[in-house]
Structure 1
Amino acid sequence: MIQLDGSYGEGGGSLTRVALALSALTGKEFTVTNIRAGRPNPGLKAQHLHAIKALKALCNAETNDIEIGSTELHFTPGKIKGGRYEIDIGTAGSITLLLQALILPSLFAPSKVTLHIKGGTCGKWQASVDYLQNVLLPHVTKFVEKIELKILRRGYYPKGEGEVELEISPKYKIKNFDTVSSFIEEINVPRINLTTQGTLEQIKGIVNVSFELQNKNVGERIVQSAEGELKKNGVPINVRVDYTHAPSIGGEIVIWAIYSVDGDVNFDNPTRLGSSELIEQGKTSESIGKEAAEELQEELESGAAVDTYLADQLIPFMGLLPGSTITVREISNHAKTNMYVVEKFLDVRFKVEGTTIQSQKDL
């Protein structure tokens, strides 16, 4: 059985989420102790608990008795199956962090998987559903026949109550193989190769804002500020504003840069760098747009082909595709933690040189 120390690296929830995803995919049971030991309030939070419950249904898994605050988890997976799954986090807990545990095994289910989730659509220390939709998911399309994320309702802190639906129609079905290793060898998926940026073509984005803030033109002011910072790049900028009804007042700007190589966008290995900033009390609209733009500009000027957050999310996929390589501006503690977990479940080793990460088959 695989033993994991939840205090490893940054000691957050990412370790448990990635372990759950890989356990469901590989059929390997694991135990993790010291869950979120590096956080002020250790143990499982609501979104972790709901991820575990959803995965128990998705792959007929068994666990020890767990609750919010539990610091130890024993997870024994069964076989992945398709179907529709309804998940209500019940708080503004992150929908995207929950999906971090669910997307990977769902890609290789024997039939279509539909995940209908209620919770927070953006928040602190997490990527929003807009980032997921426009920066991460383009890298996932090569694994499936179809993947579609619908944002049905925005949900901001503290009430949450946002709603999304993710539909995944698998192309490769792991049940047709004896082992994960044989499965990986047989699937005809291009390796992840993101080492140079290419040519910056355009910058796109979305500002989603509560209707209550429309009379102050919050969305437009954020866009104007961000565009003012980014216009020096000399490419088209298209950031739209979406005023929306939500149970709590809030919002966010998400922007992303799109690159081409020799005039073409590589759909197998798309180069997209993203950033985001929450709309919060005490911060002006102008400062919010400026901070998001400055964060993106830092990624653009670094020469990296993958932004810091995306690198964290791509590590498990690189484990499935040995021979993959990415360059990042900075290798985060999340990325290091994810590499530690992936190496426990898959026959792969990661090689890090400077800001380049490569996955290699463990011979």
Structure 2
Amino acid sequence: MGKTAYKKLKGSQCLRQRLILSTLASSPLLIEDIRAEDTWPGLRPHEVSLLRLLEKVCDDCVVEINETGTKLRYKPGTVMGGKNIVHDCGVSRSIGYFLEPLILVALFGKKPLSIRLKGITNDSKDPSVDTFRSTTLPMLKRFGVPSEGLDLKIESRGAPPHGGGEVILTVPTVEKLMAVNWLDEGMVKRIRGITFSARVSSQFENTMIHAARGIFNRLLPDVHIFTDHKAGPQAGKSPGYGISLVAETTSGCFISVDTAVSYAQGEVGEIEDEEKKELTPPESVGEQIASFLLEEIEQGGVVDSTHQGLLFLLCALSEPDVSKIRVGKLSAYGIETLRSIIDFLSVKFDIKPDPSTGTVILRGMGCGYKNLSRKAS
């Protein structure tokens, strides 16, 4: 056996994309100086949990973390998939943090994946499980992912700080992803949404819906927001409420936003949540989220800003053909993803602003990534 050649990187940024790309490109990774200067140095609990999750869905995956957590060696294995897998995501980040890397890796597994994830389903940091169900999964179908076997079931809700939510994710395998020519964002034709409440009055949901509709109904008539009030074991361990909205356009794009309100505590060493001791009233939540959705629509991309990173990864991994996509203003996460894609896949996108619409058009040739394990099975 020869010596393993590790790709050397520094710092804690873009850990998710680095792990996804390292796994798919079979490129061992050595990351040093992970928050080395911080008061609490090293990997955070959710990052360690993501590594443990990758160990569960991959075979021969080797993870080595030093005592302080500031140095990580990651040797990717073969993505196996499989069913009846259970993973507790913990409560330092929501399930949404884990879904994006998990879906991307699972598409190229040996077998379809069926996994039960436990933790926080809705918070104000990561995309909610509702957004994944309404927006992320339909987006995958554009790249040739079959809708059969692609599903996310929400069994119970979990709000911060104690979670208690459960979802079941199933992902089919694909041999390759198709390139896309996706430039027409279309006009908004309908707005759909869902509110949830757990361990609080269901009246909160009606108030949020009323406030959001008050803004949308001035603009278009087709607005339906459903309610999902959970009680008992399905309500998780902490009180909370929230709303997830999706604008569907005439060209089949889905633009989404979501938020949740709960008595969450910040992470150890974080004071960012101090000002949230007073919970935002449901009326303000409804108005704010409706305004956020209008801002996302105004940006004019085929996806919202939270989905940019995933969109770029899907295009970079697609068949060796040119993909053309239109996005609004590039998000910080999107830019970091583009850098990671160059690092691992040597795929570069040609980026051109479109001054007439204020959008950005990206063109890039996919790296032609193939699921070799699926063919052999």
Q: Same fold (TM over 0.5)?
A: yes
Q: 2:190: which partner in 1?
A: 202
Q: Specify whether residues 340 and 208 from structure 1 end up closer, same or farther in structure 2 by C-alpha distance, changes over 3 A only.
A: same
Q: Aligned pair 1:71/2:70, yes or no?
A: yes
1:182 aligned residue:
none
* Distance in 1 of aligned mates of 2:315 and 2:206: 38
- The whole-number CA distance in structure 2 between the counterparts of 1:113 and 1:147 is 9
Could you list the per-position Cα deviations for residues 276-328 of structure 1 after superposition, in whole angstroms to 9, with x for gaps in the alignment? Answer: 12224431211101110001111222322221111122221121125223322
Q: What is the deviation of 1:107?
A: 0.6
Q: What is the aligned-residue identity percentage?
A: 26
Relative to 1, partners in 2 of residues 1:260 and 1:48: Cα closer, same or farther, differing over 3 Å? same
Closer/same/farther in 2, CA of residues 239 and 35 from structure 1, 3 Å limit = farther
Amino acid at match of 2:363: Q
Query: What corresponds to 2:299 in structure 1?
Result: 302
Q: Give the structure 1 partner of residue 372 of structure 2.
A: none
Q: In the aligned structure 2, how far is the partner of 1:114 from the partner of 1:40? A: 38
2-structure distance, mates of 1:41, 1:146: 41
The answer (yes or no) to whether the contact 2:65–2:71 under 8 Å persists in 1 is: no
Task: Give the distance between the partners of 2:92 and 2:130, measured in 1 at CA.
Answer: 16
Letter in structure 2 aligned against 1:117: L
Q: Distance in 2 between matches of 1:282 and 1:171?
A: 44
Q: Which residue does 1:171 correspond to in 2?
A: 174
- Aligned counterpart for 1:147 among listed residues 147, 150, 170: 150
1:195 is matched by which residue type in structure 2?
A: L
- Letter matched to residue 201 of structure 1: K
- Pairwise CA distance, 1:54: 1.8
Q: Is 1:256 matched with 2:246? A: yes
Secondary structure, in 3 states, of the residue corresponding to 1:324?
Answer: strand
Aligned-partner SS, 1:198: coil
Say which is worse superposed, 141-150 or 18-27, in terms of deviation. 141-150
What letter is aligned with 2:102?
Answer: L
Report the AA paired with residue 231 of structure 1.
N
Instruction: Count matched residues.
Output: 331
Is the aligned partner of 1:192 residue 2:180? Answer: yes
**Change in 2 beyond 3 A, CA 1:53/1:304:** same
Change (3 A) 1:304 1:70: same
The CA distance in 2 between the partners of 1:219 and 1:303, in whole Å, is 29
Q: Which of residues 256, 261, 264 in structure 2 aligns to 1:274?
A: 256
1:213 aligns with 2:205: no
Provide the rounded CA distance (Å) in 2 between the counterparts of 1:39 and 1:200. 45
The answer for unaligned runs of 5 or more in structure 2 is: 1-5, 263-277, 354-359, 368-377
Q: For structure 1, which segment, 88-97 or 289-298, has the greater mean C-alpha deviation from structure 2 after superposition?
A: 88-97
Q: Residue 202 of structure 1 contacts residue 258 of structure 1 at CA under 8 Å; is this kept in 2?
A: yes
Inter-CA distance 39–309: structure 2 relative to 1 (3 Å threshold) = farther
Map of 2:11 onto structure 1: 6
Name which of structure 1's ranges 220-229 and 80-89 shifts more when overlaid on structure 2: 80-89
In structure 2, relative to structure 1, the CA distance for the partners of 1:159 and 1:34 (3 Å cut) is same
Unmatched 5+ stretches in structure 1: 173-186, 266-270
Per-residue deviation, 1:139: 1.5
Helix, strand or coil: the match of 1:243?
Answer: strand
Deviation, 1:38, is 9.9
By how many angstroms is 1:21 displaced?
Answer: 1.5
Mapped partners of 2:247, 2:140: distance in 1: 18
Confirm or deny that 1:114 pairs with 2:114.
Answer: yes
- Residue 39 to residue 326, structure 1, CA distance change in 2 (3 Å): farther
Letter in 1 for 2:361: T
In structure 2, what is the Cα distance between the partners aligned to 1:315 and 1:168?
20
TM-score, normalised via structure 1 length: 0.84
2:136 alignment counterpart: 136
When residues 89 and 304 of structure 1 are mapped into structure 2, their CA distance, relative to the original with a 3 A threshold, is: closer
Asked whether the equivalents of residues 192 and 246 of structure 2 are also in contact (C-alpha less than 8 Å), the reply is yes
**Given the two structures, how large is their TM-score scaled by the length of structure 2?**
0.81
Tell me the secondary structure at the aligned position of residue 257 of structure 1. Answer: strand
- Please give the alpha-carbon distance, in whole angstroms, between the structure 1 residues aligned to 2:283 and 2:218: 18
Q: How far off its partner does 1:111 sit?
A: 1.1
In structure 2, the CA distance between the partners of 1:225 and 1:235, relative to structure 1 (3 Å rule), is same
Q: How far apart are the structure 2 equivalents of 1:312 and 1:41?
A: 28
- Cα displacement (A) at 1:128: 0.6
Residue 92 of structure 1 and its aligned partner are, at CA, apart by 5.1
In the other structure, the counterpart of 2:212 is 226
Q: What's the CA shift for 1:40?
A: 7.9
Change (3 A) 1:194 1:252: farther
Q: Aligned in 2, Cα 1:65/1:305: closer, same or farther, shift over 3 Å?
A: closer
1:119 is displaced (CA, Å) by: 0.9
Give the conservation status (yes or no) of the 8 Å contact 2:45–2:92. no
Q: Distance in 2 between matches of 1:229 and 1:43?
A: 44
